[in-house]
Structure 1
Amino acid sequence: MRLLEGAVDHGGSLGRARALFPNALLPFVDLSTGINPHSYPLFDLPATSLARLPEAARGRELTEIAARTYSAPSPANVVAAPGTQILLPRVASLVRPGKALVLGPTYAEHARAAAIAGHEVSEVGDFAALAEADLAIVVNPNNPDGRVIERDRLLALAAGLRARGGRLVVDEAFMDVGPRQHSLAGDVDRGGIVVLRSFGKFFGLAGVRLGFALSDAATVEFLETQFGPWAVAGPALEYGIRALADIGWQDAMRASLTEAAARLDGLFGRFGVPVAGGTTLFRYLQLPDAAGLFSALGERGVLLRHFPDRPHVLRAGLPGCQEEWQRLESALAGWAARREDRSKGCEQ
């Protein structure tokens, strides 16, 4: 039962937000996700993408473009899926049930998926401890703190696991805005490595439900058999093909996100909120009054991501427009004023 409950403990639920803050100003400014608020431009879909089953050739075109964009060795090293979420338990099942170690704290779904696959799962804070795993899982860059593990260290870990029949899974959901020199996408042919790439976060199209697993050709072929034909919907194929091929948009967006993240850091800094890490799609906050900040902003209709097991930690996504920036600034000012009033009261 606990595993099923864990599946809903994520940001982005406006239903839960309304229940938690019933008197909040609407609409909510949802900064609780790491999804790009500036999505890839929408376009008119061909009617056939909805009226007909997807053509196999269109699926091959998608994996060819994904292989180029992510720098995989070849299209044979890429399998497309309806979101990376559905890949997690299937990838965990590539290793017979044993010891799964997740480098944490991180995205909770990896531990849940490994447990579903029959593994004994533990979260570890020491990268070196992963060498004892049958299945080792690293999110790189990490969610929520943005920690990056260097490629050489990951390759050394993968080699040790491979020698014992183990496997390394690297979730690169945020590598589109990370240091791409540390991606393992180009190394998956070595064997024993699975790299996960998310489409919806960077391109701001989470509802399209598209993701990829990159691995050696035999593993990719096996994963493809798990899905069967037509795994990726026609509209997702169309958006994936166009957006992944649009390198100009991607480069411009990375520059824009860098500017927005710096602006967000400056705004938090003005009100004494320390930014401890993150990526350009989300900022990682650590402060003693994290719970108070979360509640104060939520009451004003601004949602951050909180972590019940880490009460001093918050994650903040990027505002999507000037009105949202202004509402965040106003909410921060209200929280800071309340904090100052409490401080004066204690002095008296």
Structure 2
Amino acid sequence: MTTPAALLGHGGRLGAARTLYPDAPTPWLDLSTGINPCPYPVPSLASEAWSRLPDPESTRALERAAASAFGVDDPARVVAAAGSEALIRLLPRLLPARRIGVATRTYGGHAEAWHAAGATLLADTDTAIDLRVVVNPNNPDGQALSPDQVLGRAAGALIVDEAFADTDPDLSVAPLAGAPGHERLIVLRSFGKFYGLAGARLGFLIAEPTLAARVRQTLGDWPVSGPAIAVGLAAYADPAWAIRTRQRLAEDAVRLDALLRVAGFEIVGGTSLFRLARAADAPRRFEVLARAGILTRPFPWDETLIRFGLPGPQPDWLRLADALERLR
């Protein structure tokens, strides 16, 4: 059994899943991404957030709030954008590096962006590179490096994608990015995954002030929507929510591991936002779950792997448990 090609590459392809499995029960339970299923409670937004262009000062206020949350002492090094993906696509146009080291099994958007810009992609271990990209924790396997290990990977410039680092802030090198002695260190952060609000399209670059200013100028006066600014300001001003959420996610990851092991999976990686599992008959298992209206993430390079995001409300946990029973 082969997993449909339309569902390979990345998670969240519900449209393709609905087309391929039209008889699956609805609503679909999408476990194919690593997005917090219990999002930050969106506050009531003033009508001006929707009806007016965002005031550039409100964007600066968001960057100051993000800098505080990331432990960055100079907000001038923090740039807000419409998602970290936008920054991934922008950086190859602004940086002079042409020999890029990117791991084979990591988030594919980095290699795509540098390839499109005409750069040469080299093995992550190649000594000829002038810029290395590190995703930490890694997507999709969750492998985590300590800050010292990350900094030890520098070969010229270093981009560190910390899209999943909110679950474990001790892994982050964001406080150092662009600071004296670390001028060639660039960090990308994502808002939507940990805060469960991926639709807000909000991400950040942390870099030395000159590069940060170039990125800010390239993005223009309104890089982030008014509603995203309002939600980001509220969320970053609520560290108690973040602390509670880290604890809940860790507990839910343990709970998901137990369900998967009972169903015959081996847990081989992950973060507290997703778990990477292995089974010899993973394509069959993916198919059974899909026909039950549960979308998981398969991988084109290893058909024995499936990634599971966390269920949210209790009915979703029960639905997953019931579907997993059919795999035993």
SS, match of residue 93 in structure 1 = helix
Matched residue pairs, number? 320
Is the 2:100–2:132 contact (alpha carbons within 8 Å) kept by the matching residues of 1? yes
Residues 1:292 and 1:135: Cα distance change in structure 2 (over 3 Å): same
Contact 2:187 2:205 in 1 (8 A): yes
Alpha-carbon distance in 2 for matches of 1:291, 1:81: 37
| Structure 1 residues 235-263: Cα deviation after superposition (integer angstroms, max 9, x where no partner) | 01000101011100000011111111110
In structure 2, C-alpha distance between the alignment counterparts of 1:72 and 1:185, rounded to whole Å: 7
Q: Give the Cα–Cα distance (whole angstroms) in 2 for the partners of residues 9 and 24 of structure 1.
A: 22
Structure 1 residues 8-17 or 81-90, which shifts more?
A: 8-17
Unpaired segments of 5 or more residues in structure 1? 162-166, 337-348
Whether 1:258 and 2:250 are equivalent positions in the alignment is yes
Q: Any idea what the Cα deviations from partners look like across 1:190-243, whole Å, max 9, x if unmatched?
A: 111110000000000000000000011111001011111011110010001010
AA paired with 2:89? P
CA distance in 2, matches of 1:207, 1:173: 15
Who is 1:176 aligned against?
Answer: 166
Displacement, 1:149? 1.9
2:61 is the counterpart of 1:69: no
How much does 1:277 deviate?
1.3
Contact in 2 for aligned 1:97/1:117 (Cα 8 Å) = no
C-alpha distance in 2 between matches for 1:245 and 1:130: 42
Matched letter for residue 158 of structure 2? L
Matched, 1:191 2:183: yes
Query: Aligned equivalents of 1:20 and 1:287: distance in 2?
Result: 23
Structure 1 residues 130 and 317: CA distance shift in structure 2, 3 A:
farther
Instruction: State TM-score, norm by structure 2.
Output: 0.94
Distance (whole Å) between structure 1 residues aligned to residue 244 and residue 95 of structure 2? 40
SS of the residue aligned with 2:134?
strand
Find 1:144's aligned residue among 134, 140, 145.
Answer: 140
Post-superposition offset of 1:98:
1.8
Query: Could you tell me which residue of structure 2 aligns to residue 330 of structure 1?
Result: 322
Kindly name which structure, 1 or 2, has the bigger radius of gyration based on alpha carbons.
1
Q: Tell me what 1:99 maps to.
A: 99
Alignment pair present for 1:155 and 2:151? yes
User: What is the TM-score when the length of structure 1 is the normalising length?
Assistant: 0.88
Matched, 1:229 2:230: no
Equivalent residue letter for 2:15: G
- The change in CA–CA distance for 1:130 and 1:252 in structure 2 (over 3 A counts) is farther
Give the Cα–Cα distance (whole angstroms) in 1 for the partners of residues 197 and 150 of structure 2: 29
Listed as ranges, the matches of 1:36-115 within 5 Å are 36-96=36-96, 98-115=98-115
Alpha carbons 1:261, 1:280 under 8 Å: kept:
yes
- State whether residues 14 and 295 of structure 2, in contact with CA within 8 Å, keep that contact through their aligned partners in structure 1: no
Q: Check conservation: 2:43, 2:234, Cα contact below 8 A.
A: no
Shift of 1:174: 0.3
